[in-house]
Amino acid sequence: MTNMTCATVQDLLPELATGRLGGGESESVESHLAGCSRCREALDVLTLLTASPPTEAPPELEARIQAAVRQELAMTGTRRAPAAHGARRGWHIPAPAWGLAAAAVLALVMGRTLLPGGEQEPELLALGQEDLPVLLADDGMVAGAPVFDGLSDDDLALLLEELER
């Protein structure tokens, strides 16, 4: 049996409180606890926490995730459409769309940069941060091509956020 410091003992208290600590270490920790009120107080907190079970996920969540995963697998190798998760929100932007979307954003940025300074711009809707140099025409068209057609504002905000990374 070794003498343990408070730091070592307190690191091991979650294992002690949940019965996951092995015999030898358990004895050393118990021995330390017998003479250390500070560590005993920390154990008291953990004992209270473990006496109340952690929150359970909603019962339907497991099946819901499995269904979404199944749908994802069914899409793999075929066409990956934005509405891959019809069971819930449709924000997923499939991998093949990234190249197209990135190209569209690049074209948009280039187009904006090339606009003459004094020229009247069409009505544009800024997305995300105010200083973001990317703008989207409010009819959802970019340079006349409906590349973002069908994507919600949330989807587009997410796309821009991903592109910034």
Partner 1 sequence: MNGDPHGREAPDDVLVQRARSGDEAALNRLVTRHHQTAYRVALGILGDPEQAADAAQDGFLRAVRALDSFRGDARFRTWLLTIVSNEARGLMRRAGRRRESGLEDESAVVDGAPAVDDVVAAKEEAGMARRFLARLPEKQRLAVQLRVDEGLSFKEVGEIIGSTEGAARVNYHHGIKRLREMMEP
Contact 30, 4 (CB under 8 A): no
Residues that bind partner 1 (rule: CB under 8 A) add up to a total of: 42
82 binds partner 1 (CB under 8 A): no
Contact 153, 89 (CB under 8 A): no
Residue (25 or 72) nearer to partner 1, CB:
72
Cβ 59 to partner 1, closest distance in Å? 11
129 binds partner 1 (CB under 8 A): no
- Chain-centre distance of CA 141, in angstroms? 29
The enclosing H or E element of 126 equals: strand 124-126
Residue (19 or 144) nearer to partner 1, CB:
19
Which is nearest to 150 in space by CA: 110, 75, 100, 112? 100
Which residues, 6+ apart, have CB-to-CB distance to 122 below 8 Å?
137
Burial pattern 113-125, b for ≥16 Cβ within 10 A else e, equals eeeeeeeeeeeee
Single residue of 27, 62, 138, 164 touching partner 1 by CB under 8 A = 62
14 binds partner 1 (CB under 8 A): yes
x/- mask, partner 1, residues 24-43, rule CB under 8 A, reads -----------------xx-
Residues that bind partner 1 (CB under 8 A): 10-11, 14-15, 17-18, 20, 41-42, 44-46, 48-52, 54-58, 61-62, 64-66, 68-70, 72-73, 76, 85, 88-89, 92, 95, 154, 157-158, 161
